[in-house]
Structure 1
């Protein structure tokens, strides 16, 4: 009996020692490897070994939970097969040379909380389906060549804390649903082609700490509701076409002190409200 028990334990140890991810997940990683020119990566995968030994792949309970290959000379496109990594929580492919579109299948990743594919050469629109990845807390797509609008479905990402889309070619007005994401702490949309007004509903973003909208084409009055955001410690909305009066407090908080471009493209500062003595404040 003791011999049988000992043999059984050895078998169990052996099984757990050689436990592997599913064939679907392994196939997805192999496809990712080939689509991004894996043979030219800085740190390469040996596909003859177990995925547990592949650089940047994090596995937990026989599931892929992380794929982190920043600055690793990835070239090519992101395959739709990434959507097969159903348990993945983090995808970090920052600073590579990825091209093509963002796969719509990433929206199938319900456990994904961090997606960073910034500083690449991605183009096309932000897929609406990405807004189905409701666990997302960090969505960083900055410094690419993305076009189109910010999907109105963005409001479905109710856990989002960091939305960084700066230095792209995004356009259109900000959807009203954006102002419903009360968890947002960082909203960086600068250096795009956004238009329209900044809604007074911005006051709903009570967790906001960093708001960067400079170098766009926003118009209209700067909402005074910005002053209600008590956690806001970094603000830059200059180099737009905002108009009207602004307070000294807001002008002082803005990095470029509310310097806008007028209809002739000339940089001018917005005029300040007078204080209770009738004296106009100056941001200097």
Structure 2
């Protein structure tokens, strides 16, 4: 027995040296991600016998995994629930893959996240209300998935958010007024969903907004007069909706616009300092077969 103990100690120490760059808990979470997303078929595979610091797309600082970037790496399967163990993760980019299954609410436990990019996958289900707990998030990109339900009001609690893109999903209901709390927001994309109701006037609070894309929904009513406050706006796309009045657009100084699309050719508005060479009027419906 006395001889066995030193041998076990040597094995234990050796194991700690090999994987000393991260804790066993964090390494286990990474292994779950590898196995649950068919790591053997990845474009850039992980050498599981090597230190975690050498794994493709993984960044480690002070013994903690802080970044995972597996963009366009042929991931398939589901995002494991154990990903919540990566408590120091600040960047997660799994975009342009073939991930399926429900949007994992466990991602909401990653309170250090600044960037969450899951666009161009096949995720379904609702965006959980818990998403609002990601107070440090600056970019949330979920476009082109199969997410349904409504946009959570809690997203308005993510005050540091600069980019929010939920376009090309199956989201329904109204645009939450709480999005007007995102005063750091520079880009808001809600294109191609089935959103309805009026645009909330609170969006006029987004003074830093440069890009607003609401096209291809079922939005109605009038354009809020508060849009006149969006002095930084460069891209505005609101075509293919059901608005009954565009009169408030006259309040906008549109000479700085790079893109300005709406779909009422017979509307005659007195725009302030409009440079029509920089704008375009949408005269055709946008159609896309997302299964192709």
> How far does residue 215 in structure 1 lie from its aligned partner after superposition?
0.3
* 1:17 positional shift: 9.0
Partner residue, 1:216 = 217
Unmatched segments (≥5 aa) in structure 1: 1-14, 261-267, 276-282
- Partner Cα distance (1:62, 1:162) in 2: 29
1:258 paired residue number = 262
**For 1:245-281, what per-residue CA distance to the aligned partner results, in whole angstroms no more than 9, with x for missing partners?**
4245578859464215xxxxxxx54442599xxxxxx
Corresponding position of 2:113: 112
Matched, 1:272 2:269: yes
Cα RMSD, aligned residues only: 2.2
In the alignment, which residue of structure 2 is the partner of 1:238? 239
Distance 2:261 2:253 in 1: 8
2:65 maps to 64
Deviations 1:23-65 (A, max 9, x none): 1100100001010000110111111221111101100000000
Measured against aligned partners, the alpha-carbon deviations of 1:202-244 in whole angstroms (never above 9, x if no partner) come to: 2111111100000001000111221211111111011111112
User: Is the contact made by 2:179 and 2:202 (CA closer than 8 Å) also made in structure 1?
Assistant: no
In 2, Cα distance between equivalents of 1:188 and 1:131: 18
Matches of 1:53 and 1:41, distance apart in 2: 16
CA distance in 2, matches of 1:222, 1:56: 44
User: What is the number of equivalent residue pairs in this alignment?
Assistant: 256
Structure 2 distance, partners of 1:243, 1:250, is: 21
Distance in 1 (CA, whole Å) between partners of 2:160 and 2:92 is 17
Give the alignment's TM-score, normalised by structure 1: 0.84
1:148 counterpart residue number: 149
Q: Aligned ranges for residues 81-160 of structure 1 at < 5 Å? A: 81-160=82-161
TM-score by length of 2: 0.82
CA contact 1:137–1:161 (8 Å) conserved in 2: yes
The question of whether the paired residues in 2 share the 8 Å contact of 1:236 and 1:254 is answered with: no
Give the C-alpha shift of residue 129 in structure 1. 1.4
Partner of 2:3: none
Q: Which runs of 4+ in 1 moved over 2 A?
A: 15-20, 245-258, 268-275
Q: Which runs of 5+ in 2 are unaligned?
A: 1-15, 273-279, 282-292
Structure 1 residues 269 and 224, CA gap change in structure 2 (3 angstroms): farther
Tell me, in whole angstroms, the C-alpha distance in 1 between the residues paired with 2:261 and 2:36.
46
Note if contact 1:122-1:146 (Cα within 8 Å) is conserved in structure 2: yes
Find the counterpart in structure 2 of residue 279 from structure 1: none
CA distance in 2, matches of 1:163, 1:230: 19
- Bigger drift between 57-66 and 121-130 goes to 121-130
Displacement of 1:92 in angstroms is 0.5
Which residue of structure 2 aligns with residue 177 of structure 1?
Answer: 178
Separation in 2, partners of 1:18, 1:175: 46
Cα 1:73/1:272, change in 2 over 3 Å: same
The alpha-carbon deviation at position 19 of structure 1 amounts to: 2.9
- Distance in 2 of aligned mates of 1:269 and 1:224: 20
